[in-house]
Amino acid sequence: MFFASDNTSGVPVQVLDALARANEGYAPGYGADDAMTRVTALIREVFEAPEAAVYLVATGTAANALALATHVRPWQTIYCSRVAHIEEDECAAPEFYAGGAKLTLLEETDGKIAPETLARVLNDAPQGVHHVQRGIVSLTNLTERGARYSAAEIAQLAAIARAHGLPVHLDGARFANALVAEGCTPAEMSWRAGVDVLSFGGTKNGLLGVEAVILFDPAKAWEFELRRKRGGHLFSKHRYLSAQMEAYLTDGLWLDLARQANAMGARLHAGVEGAGARLVHPRGGNMLFVEMTRDQHAALRAAGAVYYDWPAPHPASGPGDQPLQARLVTSWSTTEADIGRFVETMQAAR
Amino acid sequence: MFFASDNTSGVPVQVLDALARANEGYAPGYGADDAMTRVTALIREVFEAPEAAVYLVATGTAANALALATHVRPWQTIYCSRVAHIEEDECAAPEFYAGGAKLTLLEETDGKIAPETLARVLNDAPQGVHHVQRGIVSLTNLTERGARYSAAEIAQLAAIARAHGLPVHLDGARFANALVAEGCTPAEMSWRAGVDVLSFGGTKNGLLGVEAVILFDPAKAWEFELRRKRGGHLFSKHRYLSAQMEAYLTDGLWLDLARQANAMGARLHAGVEGAGARLVHPRGGNMLFVEMTRDQHAALRAAGAVYYDWPAPHPASGPGDQPLQARLVTSWSTTEADIGRFVETMQAAR
Amino acid sequence: MFFASDNTSGVPVQVLDALARANEGYAPGYGADDAMTRVTALIREVFEAPEAAVYLVATGTAANALALATHVRPWQTIYCSRVAHIEEDECAAPEFYAGGAKLTLLEETDGKIAPETLARVLNDAPQGVHHVQRGIVSLTNLTERGARYSAAEIAQLAAIARAHGLPVHLDGARFANALVAEGCTPAEMSWRAGVDVLSFGGTKNGLLGVEAVILFDPAKAWEFELRRKRGGHLFSKHRYLSAQMEAYLTDGLWLDLARQANAMGARLHAGVEGAGARLVHPRGGNMLFVEMTRDQHAALRAAGAVYYDWPAPHPASGPGDQPLQARLVTSWSTTEADIGRFVETMQAAR
Amino acid sequence: MFFASDNTSGVPVQVLDALARANEGYAPGYGADDAMTRVTALIREVFEAPEAAVYLVATGTAANALALATHVRPWQTIYCSRVAHIEEDECAAPEFYAGGAKLTLLEETDGKIAPETLARVLNDAPQGVHHVQRGIVSLTNLTERGARYSAAEIAQLAAIARAHGLPVHLDGARFANALVAEGCTPAEMSWRAGVDVLSFGGTKNGLLGVEAVILFDPAKAWEFELRRKRGGHLFSKHRYLSAQMEAYLTDGLWLDLARQANAMGARLHAGVEGAGARLVHPRGGNMLFVEMTRDQHAALRAAGAVYYDWPAPHPASGPGDQPLQARLVTSWSTTEADIGRFVETMQAAR
């Protein structure tokens, strides 16, 4: 009963097989491998973006920090939600990569920024020499609270950014989960909606550790390459990254994995509600924030369930202070059996 | 009728005279001048801090950024109020000097942080490897909204910081104004209250451009010196900075200047209230935020009064959107005549 | 005939098998996996360093930059040879990670720094506030010119650094190759020789992409962890890094791989000398710089040999300007057949 | 007998008078003062550069670091001579301001870079993703060894830079001294020779602490302004900087001061040669490197002469190790009497 994160899962056999195939013979390093040529072609096709520049890195923090740094100057600010991963979970990596840029935190609901909020903040931002300048808008889909932007909602926010001359970044660590839930095309949820640069997640959805950064406008491609190298994120044996991403994109594997994760999320959703618990945020895909009783928490822990209390309790908190929320994440490898056991345990402790 | 800022005033004759005297003959550069030795002794005496390390720079932003950078690491965060000068008016200088550190913004009233706010935020800060770490607490006195912390209030906040092992910085751009209003000693409002490093303002209170950074614990003195040099803030002809600060501290000039500025602030305070306006924040010294009618604004502008609308209106705002607040700052050189004219104009437009 | 770099080789079957085993079930992320506990124990045992802190990253540049940044402040300098990888091949990653620190380049022979050179430079370095301060000494073994330091030579250099209070970093991208050639223990070539922090290479010697950073003094372990996270180098599915390193260290696989690479280097060495070519630098292990005739170059290229001309010719160079050196690197997967063909081709073109 | 540096001198009466005049009344801060408008006009006129953007800062390190940072990206390198002030005397300020950029040190003679050296280094610089990219060329005139580039020599170097698409920075801390010695116009020694950005020194030539940064192409003016603010180098009471620079440029004061300093340099030059000493580098203006006997050194010190031994002796050096060079700098305030005494003392100790 592992619901701590989708990144506690392993990878499907297709990905391991691809690594084994990639292992044969010699290959030039640093992204000059043939498989990377194929990956670029695949992503351009999948995203209907024949000009896009495509780069692979191994962590989501690297993808986000490099993508953002390439689009802001050190005296600019990155607009994001108050609960954005780039604010809460990256130990100031964006600030580091962007040379001391700032993050401006926007009010959010379910991790989503409302258009009026963005419009107001951008309008009100003073632009004199004493102030950090407006830099970029960063959204996350699925959000960090498990909710989902529609392509239209992203387009609405991006239009506001564009009206101020700002580019838009999308943290797509769970892009696939959002996409299959929304039922739109990759292009519709990215560049057609106004996204300039996308962190296209692979790791949480079944890879060992690969994310693509997609620059829909390739003008900054060379800068990105230099930043990636300088950040230590250019792999010598790059073929092993390429192989993972190629397998991911072949025969729609990435979409199948996300559909499976979402289906398990839906099943868990129904189960916990049946057990009398309620979701704190609307479920956009495979991540659920569930409020339950202390007894249910205790029973689940006793039964071996692994998940995060939410928000993370302070080390000094006593048992009475324990929060009542659980963050539950399903993945491509979540089983119906595990969900069944989880829900039964909740039911029994109701 | 110049009330835009205390930094639009000139300097008293004693300071110009000191520059002229300092100009005689040759002097070693970079802080090795004899006058700097005297300045250090004077500050140690005034602050009853015989071990303190004392350095001069020429701008408040330099003082704050260097003071903070010396006390945080790049993966830590600086706690300050949402309206702190270091957040709103320094174009991310602290982030730059601190190598990409973050600012965490705390709710404030009148620019003051409440002890319970600080305690809660520090308690709740997650401290795992994914999160920025707690670094330093920065307070401002007078605050950016013209209010004042008492020494006891600073001590209370500093004790909370200390309980988490954090140092405390005080942005004292208007330290003198706060001090004479509070009627305590420099020591009481700084190190005795738990302040580790003080930006001790001179420019706003009658110097051409000198601020002292006082490290009450000299352990980081050498690091500060290197950071100052590296930031381009070590003056070759340092004697001209020393001379200003020496004149400032001699015969209590700095206190007299602040008393005069505050007295003018009090006079203006009484005047604007007499003219039917009200202060938005309690007046701590020489800075007033006054809400008045549009007619009064118009009359004052017509009469040649210079001050900031508050908050600064957006360039695109129409006349009907004009805010009703004025930020008025008095200084050592403010005259009763100017205040008289200002108040009369307000009265007439009432 | 792939001799471009050891990182154009694949990985041995044991490593792929380890990945497959690691793939089973769920595992906590970010280095909390059980395999990492075993890796730490293995490295401590192999290095006879029971207190050492051990971290995994995926690239050599990340290992070097993070190791160095953790041991210098931004106003300090890193002493290294003029041809060091950190100077020539990392796009200023050390400067980036160290917040703007400098590299001071030392004269070298075969990539090795002479003790008298290091002593003189450290002695002569001005230490006033106008100057960058001495920070750390970084050595590389095998060197970037394929030569080798003995443990005694490293100890001699480290003693000089120590006399100035400076720590020592060893870039061990080819540590295994140096070690088996030298015939000493890992401890002798690292902490017993005075090395404080080691970039312990795995990728060039048979892994997909894993390097360990070993801090023999764990005092800076937490700082390193924060820097790694902030650099985007903390892997969520960390188990796949641990698995590679565990396989590498199990049953001496890493030593066997290095011995094989070196043996192939020796065979190639003998072959090219037999074909009338000479080595420009003494061969320390598996990397050879060979001066040959233009005809030999042409024949090898025609036969499909892949290697770097050395130094890399300028894009604008005409054919007559082509350098006469070749950089040849053997690896664990180099075959006798390939060497045979290479040497025969050289012989025929003699 | 103060020959330690031109920055140990005071300022002429015209500058103090200008400060006193500037002190009257109120003035808007941060460069919006009327005097700055006049300074910009004056500099544009003096340099025949009606489009130039002009900014004032208070130290030479700030001028250089800000000028350079505005023209390089963090993954680029700054080409300068091995003895450049930006390398030797600024504690890595350029690296700090430029976000971790590198300095590439070129061989020099008398502080001057030979055209063939620059051409070779730029030609040979590898430009792949693993390498820092070519950024800017920085020259110094007068050089740090007291020599002088002619306008034609600067033009020759700048043409080489331009051929690689690189901008050129001139560190003109002693620009006036070079200019009057060379007898050309400010335009000829700057933008007409291909200089893009000039650190136009005032402090060493008679100001309290003001340098102008002149961007001959104003395209990066706004970026410069933000960098200046962010560096803490934007003065609130900016009028005192403007006043100094205005006085400096009025009635050719800056040229008179430099002519006087150079004339004293020539007189000292003749004197020390008459006393049997020789200059180590050709004298370009007001800075001399003189090799003399130990007896002469001892006699001068005994007579109270103040100057730097050169190179600066190591603290641990014994008397026998003392270098035989002296660095002697004259200024606008150097007297014939002081030179007379200095030379007589040398003569007597011959």
Cα(D288)–Cα(A210) distance, rounded to whole angstroms?
61
Q: How far is B238 from chain C (nearest CA, A)?
A: 14
C146, C82 in Cβ contact below 8 A? no
Asked if D19 has any chain B CB less than 8 Å from its own CB, the reply is: yes
* Cα distance between residue A70 and residue B35, in whole Å: 47
Cα gap A57→A190, rounded to integer Å: 19
Interface residue A234 vs chain C (CB under 8 A): yes
For residue C311, what pLDDT is reported? 80
pLDDT of residue A323: 62
Question: Of B251, B267, B289, which residue is a domain's last?
Answer: B251
- Largest Cα–Cα separation, chain B: 62
Angle formed at CA C197 by CA C196 and CA C200, multiple of 5 degrees: 140
Q: Least CB-CB distance to A95: which of B90, B100, B316?
A: B100
- Best residue in B75, B127, B132 for a mutation probing chain C (most C CBs within 10 Å): B75
Contacts for B237 with CB less than 8 Å, ≥ 6 apart: B27, B29, D7, D10, D11, D203, D208, D209
Mean pLDDT of D318-337: 84
Chain C residues close to D312, C-beta within 8 Å = 126
What CA–CA distance (Å, rounded) separates C84 from C106? 9
Q: How confident is the model at residue C50 (pLDDT cuts 50, 70, 90)?
A: very high
Question: What is the pLDDT averaged over residues C96-105?
Answer: 98
Please tell me the pTM assigned to this model: 0.96
Q: In what side-by-side order are the strands of the sheet with B325-329?
A: B278-279, B287-291, B325-329, B308-310
Is residue C6 one of the residues assigned to a domain? no
User: A196, A231, A251: which is the final residue of a domain?
Assistant: A251
Q: Searching chain A, which residue's CA lies closest to the CA of residue C11?
A: A23
Q: Does D24 touch chain B (CB under 8 A)?
A: yes
Question: Which helix (DSSP H) or strand (DSSP E) does residue A77 occupy?
Answer: strand A76-81
Bridge partners, C201 (sequence order):
C211
Evaluate whether C143 touches C112 at the Cβ level (below 8 Å): yes
Decide if D89 and C316 are in contact by the 8 Å CB cutoff.
no
Interface touch A129/D225, C-beta < 8 Å: yes
Distance CA A9, CA A245 (A): 17
Contacts of D134 in chain A (CB under 8 A): none
Cross-chain residue pair A223–D130, CB shorter than 8 Å: no
For residue A311, what pLDDT is reported? Answer: 79
pLDDT tens digits, one per residue of B234-274:
999 999 999 999 999 999 999 999 999 999 999 999 999 99
pLDDT at position D1, please? Answer: 87
Can you give the pLDDT at residue B311?
Answer: 80
**B89:A130 CB<8 A:** yes
pLDDT value of position B322: 57
Cβ separation C102–D123 shorter than 8 A: no
Query: The domain spanning residue B281 has which CATH number?
Result: 3.90.1150.10
CB spacing of D130 vs C88 below 8 angstroms:
yes
Round to the nearest angstrom and report the end-to-end CA distance of chain C: 19
- Position C323 scores a pLDDT of 62
C229–B30: do the CB atoms touch at under 8 Å? no
Element (H, E) at B350: none
Interchain proximity D230–A74, CB inside 8 Å = yes
- In this structure, is residue D6 part of a structural domain? no
Q: Does D291 touch chain A (CB under 8 A)?
A: no
What residues in C contact D131, CB-CB < 8 Å?
A: 88-89, 91
CA gap D48, D16 in Å, rounded: 28
Average pLDDT along chain B, 350 residues, taken 10 residues at a time = 93 98 96 97 98 98 98 98 97 98 98 98 95 98 98 98 98 98 98 98 98 97 98 98 98 98 98 95 98 94 94 58 83 97 95
The answer to whether B58 contacts D58, with C-beta atoms less than 8 Å apart, is yes
**Contact check, Cβ <8 Å, A8/C16:** no
pLDDT at D318 > cutoff 70 = no
**Which SS3 state, helix, strand or coil, does residue C169 take?**
strand
Residues C244 and C271 in one domain: no
Contacts of A219 (CB under 8 A, 6+ apart): none
Chain-centre distance for alpha carbon B277: 26
Shared-domain flag, residues C143 and C202: yes
Instruction: Give pLDDT, residue B281.
Output: 97
Q: Read off the tokens for D264.
A: 């004293």
Q: Which of B17-31, C207-221, C283-297, C308-322 has the least mean pLDDT?
A: C308-322
Look-up: residue for tokens 């928000």?
A311
The pLDDT of residue C317: 54
Q: What's the pLDDT score for residue C1?
A: 87
CB pair distance less than 8 Å for D102 and C92: yes
One digit per residue, the tens of pLDDT, for chain A of length 350 reads 899 999 999 999 999 999 999 999 999 999 999 999 999 999 999 999 999 999 999 999 999 999 999 999 999 999 999 999 999 999 999 999 999 999 999 999 999 999 999 999 999 999 999 999 999 999 999 999 999 999 999 999 999 999 999 999 999 999 999 999 999 999 999 999 999 999 999 999 999 999 999 999 999 999 999 999 999 999 999 999 999 999 999 999 999 999 999 999 999 999 999 999 999 999 999 999 999 999 999 999 999 999 999 876 555 555 555 568 999 999 999 999 999 999 999 999 98
Number of B:D CB contacts under 8 A? 144
Domain of residue B116, CATH code? 3.40.640.10
The mean pLDDT of D243-254, rounded to a whole number, is 98
* Residue A47 structure tokens: 């995203």
Touching B: C residues 67-106, CB under 8 Å: 73-75, 99
Buried b (16+ CB within 10 A) or exposed e, B179-216: bbbbebebbbbbbbbbbbbbbbbbbbbbbbbbbbbbbb
- Whole-number Å distance between alpha carbons of C151 and C149: 6
CB within 8 Å of chain C, chain A residues 45-64: 57-63
The CA distance from A338 to A2, in Å, is 8
Q: Are residues D65 and D209 in the same domain?
A: yes
Residues of the domain holding D138:
13-251
B86 and B99 share a domain? yes
Q: Which regions of chain B does DSSP assign to beta strands (E)?
A: 53-57, 76-81, 102-106, 133-140, 168-172, 197-201, 211-215, 278-279, 287-291, 308-310, 325-329
pLDDT in the model for residue A321: 57
**Partners of C102 in beta bridges:** C77
DSSP secondary structure letters along B241-286: HHHHHHHHHGGGHHHHHHHHHHHHHHHHHHHHHHTT-EESS---SS
- Selected for mutation to probe chain A from B95, B96, B120, B129 (highest A CB count within 10 Å) is B95
Residues C150, C173 within the same domain = yes
pLDDT of residue D322: 57
Alpha-carbon distance A76 to nearest alpha carbon in chain B (angstroms): 8
HSE-CB at A334 with a 13 A cutoff on CA atoms is 36
Whether A75 sits inside 8 A of B92 (CB atoms) is yes
Rounded to the nearest angstrom, the minimum Cα separation between B129 and chain C is 6
In this prediction, residue B119 carries a pLDDT of 98
- Interchain contact, A226 vs D75, CB within 8 Å: yes
Which of C91, C122, C164, C309 to mutate against chain D (most D CBs within 10 Å)?
C91
Tell whether B125 and B237 lie within a shared domain. yes
Q: Are B4 and B307 in contact (CB under 8 A)?
A: yes
Q: Are A169 and A192 found together in one domain?
A: yes
For range C261-271, the mean pLDDT:
98
Residue C312 has pLDDT above 70, yes or no: no
User: Across the strands, what pairs with D277?
Assistant: none
For an interface test with B, give the residue of A91, A107, A120, A123 to mutate (most B CBs within 10 A): A91
**Residue C3 placed within a domain:** no
In chain C, the percentage of residues whose pLDDT exceeds 90 is 95
How far apart CA D177 and CA D284 sit, in angstroms, is: 8
Q: How far is C190 from chain D (nearest CA, A)?
A: 27
Statement to judge: residues D337 and D267 lie in one domain: yes
pLDDT for the residue numbered A350: 85
Q: Both C84 and C161 in a single domain?
A: yes
Residue D323 predicted with pLDDT over 70:
no
Domain boundary among the residues B202, B219, B251 is at B251
The CB-side HSE value for C77 (13 A sphere, CA atoms) comes to: 26
pLDDT of residue D190: 98
Separation of first and last alpha carbons in chain B: 19
Please report whether residue C4 resides in a domain: no
Say yes or no: D215 and D191 in one domain.
yes
Q: Is residue A4 part of a domain?
A: no
- Is the Cβ–Cβ distance between C173 and C200 less than 8 Å? no
pLDDT above 90 (res C324)? no
pLDDT tens figures, B125-138: 999 999 999 999 99
Q: Check CB contact of A185 with chain D, cutoff 8 Å.
A: no
CB C96 within 8 A of CB C73: no
CA-based nearest distance D308→chain C, Å: 14
Q: Report ipTM for this prediction.
A: 0.96
A111 and A236 in a common domain:
yes
Residue D316 above 60 pLDDT?
A: no
Beta-carbon separation of B75 and C130 below 8 A:
no
pLDDT of residue B59: 98
CA dist A73 and D11 (Å) reads: 39
Nearest residue in C to B76, CA atom: C226
Among D92, D98, D124, whose Cβ lies nearest the Cβ of C132? Answer: D92
The SS3 call for residue C286 is: coil
Is residue B235 located within the same domain as residue B330?
no
- Measure the CA angle with vertex A220, ends A216 and A222; round to 5°: 120
Residue C181 lies in a domain: yes
By percentage, how much of chain B surpasses pLDDT 70?
97
Say if the Cβ atoms of C227 and B99 lie within 8 Å. no
Decide if pLDDT at D237 tops 60. Answer: yes
Say what the pLDDT of residue D312 is.
66
Chains that touch C (3 or more CB pairs under 8 A): A, B, D
Residue C287 contacts residue C331 (beta carbons within 8 Å): no
pLDDT digits (tens, 9 = 90+) for D133-149: 999 999 999 999 999 99
C241: Cβ–Cβ under 8 A, 6 or more apart, which residues?
C36, C56, C57, C58, C210, C235
**Secondary structure tally for chain A: helices H, strands E:** 13, 11
Cα–Cα distance for residue pair B89/A128, rounded to 1 Å: 9
Cα separation of B266 and B273, whole Å? Answer: 11
Nearest 5°: phi and psi at D299?
-65, -40
Q: Are the beta carbons of D123 and C75 separated by less than 8 Å?
A: no
Predicted confidence at residue D313, as pLDDT, reads 59
pLDDT in tens, C179-189: 999 999 999 99
Subunits with 3+ Cβ pairs within 8 Å of B are A, C, D
Chain D residues close to C312, C-beta within 8 Å:
126, 128
Mean pLDDT for the stretch of residues D213-220: 97
Is residue C76 over pLDDT 80?
yes
The two structure tokens encoding residue D70: 């505005």
Number of domains chain D contains: 2
| Residues in Cβ contact with C316 at an 8 Å cutoff, skipping those fewer than 6 apart | D123
Asked if D20 has any chain C CB less than 8 Å from its own CB, the reply is no
Examine residue A265 and state whether it is found in any structural domain, yes or no: yes
C236 vs A59: CB contact, 8 Å cut-off?
A: yes
Read off φ and ψ for residue A100, nearest 5 degrees. 100, 15
Kindly identify which residue of chain D lies nearest to residue C89, measuring between CA atoms: D130
List D residues 104-123 in contact with A (Cβ-Cβ < 8 A).
none
State how far the Cα of D97 lies from the Cα of D231, in Å rounded to an integer: 8
Does C196 score more than 80 pLDDT? yes
Among D93, D204, D236, select the one facing B231 at the smallest CB separation.
Answer: D93
C223 domain-assigned: yes
Report the residue from D130, D133, D230 with minimal CB separation from A75. D230
CA A279 – CA D326 distance, rounded (Å): 79
